[in-house]
Structure 1
Amino acid sequence: MRWGDMDAYGHINNVQIVRMLEEARIAAFGPPRGAGLPGVEPHVPLFNEVAEGTMALIVDHRIRYVKTLEYRNVPAVVQVWIGAIKGASFDIHYLVQDPVTREDCVKASSHLAFVDEATGRVLRLSPEQKERLQPFTEHKP
């Protein structure tokens, strides 16, 4: 969390929460191809191993603010896991916790699909992609 992430009420602004989700997603699954070299090896190298011309795009975000996340000057705790894996898309779930109290502050999910950059068409997940995601479908807070 950064000082500038706070709003006038002293808690982390909702726009910054979405950025935190993005950072957690990239840390877990790697940066998209062409976005530079990853600083840390992701837990599941998914996004940086897609074929050239394939984009990993967010279709939908769902965010539930359970409790305000106060500025703490230390990183928030963000748990990430895979939800439903479908033919051409999958869900990423997040739980954001206060780093001091460990209280749940945000429960969120992102629906993601791979899209062909040239045609704009959604691509089906390969069996290898589904297999790579499967071990991360159980949430263990």
Structure 2
Amino acid sequence: MSSEAASPPAGGRVPVRVPMRWADMDAYGHINNVNIVRMMEEARIAAFGVPGGTGRPVSQPRVDLFANVPEGTQVLVVEHRVRYTRPLEYRNVPAEVDVWISSPKAASFDVSYEFRDAVDGTVCVRALTTLAFFSTADQRLMRLPGEHRSALAAFVGPPAVG
């Protein structure tokens, strides 16, 4: 975890904006469910960064939680859960998304999301992604290192999906 991490906002939530593409729409003018999962990934990367060794991002995340992941460690998606509270209509402006950490455990943690319509502010989607650290040498999940658990703790809020 980067020591340059910004101070967490109230409730650990990090606000980001995720563009909606014309191609994200379904026949009803809503953002398609498959594209919601893509937008979750974009929000997670914008908020917390990419795991070390996975490309060369041009923009800096709001908080870089994954910069110091040990070599030989992958941060893997274990599960996604999505609850639609109303359709997220296609807009030509980015969706507003709050991202935070919830349910930290010994070997995994959840990243929670709340998507709001950028025009009227209505919550449309609540979701979470469970992430776990994976040792490439041992080919198994590993316990989160203490420094990562401590850094995650600053961004813990309630689960987005019940």
TM-score range, shorter chain: over 0.9
C-alpha offsets along residues 67-104 of structure 1, whole Å, 9 cap, x if unaligned? Answer: 00111111000100111111111111100010001101
Secondary structure of 2:154's aligned partner: helix
Aligned to 1:40: 59
C-alpha offsets along residues 100-121 of structure 1, whole Å, 9 cap, x if unaligned? Answer: 0110100001111000123321
Q: Does 1:76 align with 2:77?
A: no
The separation in 2 between residues aligned to 1:33 and 1:78, in whole angstroms, is 24
Asked if the contact 1:116/1:122 (under 8 Å) is kept, the reply is: yes
Aligned to 1:112: 131
Aligned to 1:54: 73
C-alpha offsets along residues 21-41 of structure 1, whole Å, 9 cap, x if unaligned? Answer: 000111111112232222222
Asked if the contact 1:44/1:132 (under 8 Å) is kept, the reply is: no
Q: Which amino acid aligns with 1:134?
A: A
The separation in 1 between residues aligned to 2:100 and 2:28, in whole angstroms, is 30
The separation in 1 between residues aligned to 2:74 and 2:96, in whole angstroms, is 28
Q: Which amino acid aligns with 1:54?
A: T
Aligned to 1:10: 29
Asked if the contact 1:66/1:104 (under 8 Å) is kept, the reply is: yes
The separation in 2 between residues aligned to 1:52 and 1:21, in whole angstroms, is 25
Structure 2 runs not aligned, ≥5 long = 1-19
Offset at residue 42 of structure 1 (A): 2.0
Higher relative contact order, structure no. (Cα contacts within 8 Å, ≥ 6 residues apart): 2
C-alpha offsets along residues 54-75 of structure 1, whole Å, 9 cap, x if unaligned? Answer: 1111111110011001111110
Structure 1 runs not aligned, ≥5 long = none
Q: Which amino acid aligns with 2:38?
A: R
Q: Compare the two structures and name the one with the higher helix fraction.
A: 1
Offset at residue 53 of structure 1 (A): 1.4
Identity among equivalent pairs (%)? 56
Residue-pair matches, total:
139
User: How large is the Cα RMSD of the aligned pairs?
Assistant: 1.3
The separation in 1 between residues aligned to 2:52 and 2:154, in whole angstroms, is 23
